[in-house]
Structure 1
Amino acid sequence: MAYKDFRDFLNTLQKENQLLTIDEEVKPEPDLGAAARAINNLGDNTPGLLFNNVYGYNNAQIALNVIGSWSNHALMLGMPKNTPVKEQFFEFAKRYSEAPVPVQREESAPFHECEITEDINLFDILPLFRINQGDGGFYLDKACVISRDVTDPDHFGKQNVGIYRMQVKGKDRLGIQPVPQHDIAIHLKQAEERGENLKVAIALGCEPVITTAASTPLLYDQSEYEMAGALQQEPYKIVKAKLSNLDIPWGAEVVLEGEILAGEREYEGPFGEFTGHYSGGRSMPIIQIKRVYHRKNPIFEHLYLGMPWTECDYMIGINTCVPLYQQLKEAFPEEIVAVNAMYTHGLIAIVSTKSRYGGFAKAVGMRALTTPHGLGYCKMVIVVDEDVDPFNLPQVMWALSTKMHPKHDAVQIPDLSVLPLDPGSNPAGITHKMILDATTPKAPETRGHYSQPLDEPLTTKEWEKKLQDMLSK
């Protein structure tokens, strides 16, 4: 099911009627951001967008909303486009558990067709535009940024592929926001403690499987490339960078090579973030670009993000749920059923679990807060019974309204860490967190009246499948 490159995936979207090609002339601003916002407003199964006629950018093709629906997300996994979200979750979890899959190394890549080593000017190379009108400048917001652990450079798993926002600061300079909870912040700290610049490679227009892996909260020594191989069920192709020992996605459309300058900071922002708020401006590190590669007539990809739901939420939805699910199952292998952390990158998480005894669900919530992702996100954890589908919000609301007692089941923990982008944190990066226990009380907790649950009719499951098959024809 592996896609050869970004173009191969776009071709699949086209064949599945999940790509809308727009040939009429549009303006970079506000048309591109407005169109991406609009398509996200129209439902869960909307197509990607490919613009072929952008004013001011001769012959440039710009793709948006590429995995901005559950249909396109299913196609990214090689599944039928009508696959339900819950089925995608469990298939993703199955493949996640099959990692690592060794990579396939190549000597050269299609992006080596064109190479720029002097007089680099990103304003000439890239079609730049603001996604939201309050952004402080032009941003690269869906690029895979590759860096390595400086103290252990030969450990393949400690090479990080992550997605970080980057503001264009000049013709060959980018600002980058390395959030402290993310791996690149560790690499930069290591380099700066040595007084060294941190080498980075930036890949734009990649297959969705690597952008998905890059936005997954893996463990520090887990390789995104080996996870991408597990997700696509065959080895992922990489090629060595020319200016460093970094590995680059083989199928990228455009690659920038450079380094983060040790100790150098510039004002960056504001930027419309996945929280649905502008993040303001902060002093952030600078990347000096030293070399650019690109395919002939590259296809440029951008990501719209803002008030959920947008492509960002589809891209980081299931792949935020699965690591939490796997890490909780390591602690409670027989109890954890499913995890829904799709909302605002897991600032809220819903965990379905069997409860062994009174107070057990609250302990599950505490464990969720101490996972690697939970430390920086997971501001609220809702715990429900095993027969409540965490992906079915009416069921979750039912559990909250009938099972949770405000006196006994709302647990607040003060002054824990959260990513600074959370607009509710005060000071930035610190917040109270909460566990809401919406499970049926177990002994020795014997309050409430839960002895007569209402069961569904006997053949409901058979009818669910029959009706789903009819609707998909």
Structure 2
Amino acid sequence: MAYKDLRDFLATLEKEGQLLTISDEVKPEPDLGAAARAISNLGDQTPALLFNNIYGYKNARVVMNLHGSWPNHALMMGLPKNTPLKEQFFEFARRYSQFPVPVQREETAPFHEVEITENINLFEILPVFRLNQGDGGFYIDKACVISRDVNDPEHFGKQNVGIYRMQVKGKDRLGIQPVPQHDIGIHLRQAEERGENLPVAIALGCEPVISTVAATPLLYDQSEYEMAGAIQGEPYKVVKAKLSDLDIPWGAEVVLEGEILAGVREFEGPFGEFTGHYSGGRSMPVIQIKRVYHRKNPIFEHLYLGMPWTEVDYMIGINTCVPLYQQLKEAFPEEIVAVNAMYTHGLVAIISTKRRYGGFAKAVGMRALTTPHGLGYCKLVIVVDEDVDPFNLPQVMWALSTKMHPKHDAVIIPDLSVLPLDPGSNPAGITHKMILDATTPVAPETRGHYSQPLDSPLGTEKWEKILGDMLRK
């Protein structure tokens, strides 16, 4: 099922009716951002957008909304495009558990067709534009950024592939926001403690699996490439960088090689973020680009993000849920049923669990807050019974409205860490967090009147299968 590159996946989307090509001339601003915002407003079954006639850019092609629907997410995994969301979650979890799958190393890659080592001008190479009108500049926001642990460079798993926003600051300079909770923040701190620059490689226009995994909150020593192999079901192909010991996705359309400059900070931002707010301006590190590679007539990929839901929410939805699910299963293997952390990258998480005894659900919520992702996110954790589908929001709201007692079931923990981009944090990076226990009380908690639950009619599950199969044809 593995896609060899972005073009291979686009061919599948077109075959499945999930790619819309716009051949009329469009302006970079506001048309590209507006179109990507508009397609997200039209539901969760929408296609990717391919623009091939952009004013001011001869022969440039830009793809947006590549991950921006559940059909596209299913096709990314090689599943039928009408695969239900909950089935996609459990299939992603099954493949996640197959980690690690060793990589396949190649000597050359298609992006080696064109190499630029002198007079680099990113404004000529890349079609750059503002996604939202209040952005402080042009951003690259869907590139895989590769860096390596400086203190343990031989550990393949400590090489990180992540997606970070990067502002185009000059012809050969980028600003980058390395959030301290993310791996590249650790790598940069290590390099700067040595007084050294941090080598990085930036891969644009990648096939969809590595972009998905790069946005997944893996453990620090888990390799994104070995996880990509597990998700796609065969070894992931990489090629060595020419200026460093970094591994690069073989199928990338464009690659930038350079270094984050030690101790250098410049003003970066503001930028319209996945929280639905502008993040403001901050002093951030700078990348010096030293070499560029790209395919002939490359296809560029951009990501619109703003008030949910947009493409980013589909790209970081299920792959945020599954690590939390797996880590909670390690602590409570018999109890945890499913986890829905698709909302604003897990700032809200809904956990379905069995209960051992009164108060158990609150302990599950506490454990979620102490997972690697929960430490920086998971501001609100809602815990529901095992028979409540956490992906079915009407069921979750029913549980909250009938099972949660404000006096007994709302737990607030003050002054915990959260990512600084959370606009509600005060000061930035600090927030109170809350657990809402919406499970049925069990002994020794005996409050409420829950002795006569309403069951579904006999045969409901049989008819779910019959009608579901009919709807999928």
Same fold (TM over 0.5): yes
* Paired amino acid for 1:13: L
Give the distance between the partners of 2:460 and 2:342, measured in 1 at CA: 27
Please give the residue correspondences for 1:365-404 in structure 2 after superposition, counting only pairs within 5 Å: 365-404=365-404
Give the distance between the partners of 1:39 and 1:160, measured in 2 at CA: 32
Q: What is the CA-CA distance between 1:424 and the residue it aligns to?
A: 0.1
Instruction: Provide the residue aligned with 2:71 in structure 1.
Output: 71
Give the distance between the partners of 2:158 and 2:237, measured in 1 at CA: 18
Q: Secondary structure at the match of 1:115?
A: strand
1:437 aligns with 2:449: no
1:106 aligns with 2:99: no
Q: What is the CA-CA distance between 1:105 and the residue it aligns to?
A: 0.1
Runs of 4+ in structure 1 over 6 Å off? none
Give the distance between the partners of 1:76 and 1:170, measured in 2 at CA: 34
Normalised TM-score (structure 2): 1.00
Matched positions, count? 473
1:51 aligns with 2:57: no
Instruction: Provide the residue aligned with 2:323 in structure 1.
Output: 323
Q: What is the CA-CA distance between 1:51 and the residue it aligns to?
A: 0.3
Give the distance between the partners of 1:396 and 1:122, measured in 2 at CA: 47
Q: Secondary structure at the match of 1:346?
A: coil
Q: Secondary structure at the match of 1:71?
A: helix
1:262 aligns with 2:266: no
Q: Secondary structure at the match of 2:127?
A: coil
Instruction: Provide the residue aligned with 1:358 in structure 2.
Output: 358
Residue deviations 1:154-177 (CA, integer Å, cap 9, x gap): 000000000000000000000000
Q: What is the CA-CA distance between 1:122 and the residue it aligns to?
A: 0.1
Please give the residue correspondences for 1:134-149 in structure 2 after superposition, counting only pairs within 5 Å: 134-149=134-149
Please give the residue correspondences for 1:268-279 in structure 2 after superposition, counting only pairs within 5 Å: 268-279=268-279
Q: Secondary structure at the match of 2:31?
A: helix
The alignment's C-alpha RMSD in Å is: 0.4
Q: What is the CA-CA distance between 1:194 and the residue it aligns to?
A: 0.2
1:458 aligns with 2:458: yes
Q: What is the CA-CA distance between 1:379 and the residue it aligns to?
A: 0.1
Instruction: Provide the residue aligned with 2:96 in structure 1.
Output: 96
* Paired amino acid for 1:45: Q
* Paired amino acid for 2:78: G
Give the distance between the partners of 2:283 and 2:335, measured in 1 at CA: 44
Q: What is the CA-CA distance between 1:459 and the residue it aligns to?
A: 1.0
Q: What is the CA-CA distance between 1:469 and the residue it aligns to?
A: 1.7
Instruction: Provide the residue aligned with 2:161 in structure 1.
Output: 161
* Paired amino acid for 1:70: W
Give the distance between the partners of 1:180 and 1:464, measured in 2 at CA: 46
Structure 2: any 5+ residue segments left out of the alignment? none
* Paired amino acid for 1:343: Y
* Paired amino acid for 1:44: D
Q: What is the CA-CA distance between 1:458 and the residue it aligns to?
A: 1.0
Residue deviations 1:428-462 (CA, integer Å, cap 9, x gap): 00000000000000100000000000000111111
Residue deviations 1:78-126 (CA, integer Å, cap 9, x gap): 0000000000000000000000000000000000000000000000000
* Paired amino acid for 2:337: V
Give the distance between the partners of 1:464 and 1:272, measured in 2 at CA: 41
Instruction: Provide the residue aligned with 1:236 in structure 2.
Output: 236
Q: What is the CA-CA distance between 1:240 and the residue it aligns to?
A: 0.1
Instruction: Provide the residue aligned with 1:419 in structure 2.
Output: 419
Please give the residue correspondences for 1:164-183 in structure 2 after superposition, counting only pairs within 5 Å: 164-183=164-183
Normalised TM-score (structure 1): 1.00
Give the distance between the partners of 1:152 and 1:352, measured in 2 at CA: 38
Give the distance between the partners of 1:36 and 1:392, measured in 2 at CA: 26
Structure 1: any 5+ residue segments left out of the alignment? none
Give the distance between the partners of 2:131 and 2:465, measured in 1 at CA: 41
Q: Secondary structure at the match of 2:345?
A: helix
Q: What is the CA-CA distance between 1:314 and the residue it aligns to?
A: 0.1
Instruction: Provide the residue aligned with 1:9 in structure 2.
Output: 9
Q: Secondary structure at the match of 1:33?
A: helix
Instruction: Provide the residue aligned with 1:346 in structure 2.
Output: 346
Q: Secondary structure at the match of 1:337?
A: strand
Give the distance between the partners of 1:465 and 1:72, measured in 2 at CA: 23
Q: Secondary structure at the match of 1:151?
A: coil
Give the distance between the partners of 1:340 and 1:380, measured in 2 at CA: 12
Q: Secondary structure at the match of 1:124?
A: helix
Give the distance between the partners of 1:453 and 1:167, measured in 2 at CA: 55
Give the distance between the partners of 1:277 and 1:343, measured in 2 at CA: 15
Give the distance between the partners of 2:243 and 2:464, measured in 1 at CA: 56
Give the distance between the partners of 1:460 and 1:59, measured in 2 at CA: 55
Q: Secondary structure at the match of 2:375?
A: helix
Q: What is the CA-CA distance between 1:470 and the residue it aligns to?
A: 1.7
Give the distance between the partners of 1:241 and 1:462, measured in 2 at CA: 54
Q: What is the CA-CA distance between 1:466 and the residue it aligns to?
A: 1.4
Give the distance between the partners of 1:270 and 1:84, measured in 2 at CA: 37
Q: What is the CA-CA distance between 1:464 and the residue it aligns to?
A: 1.3
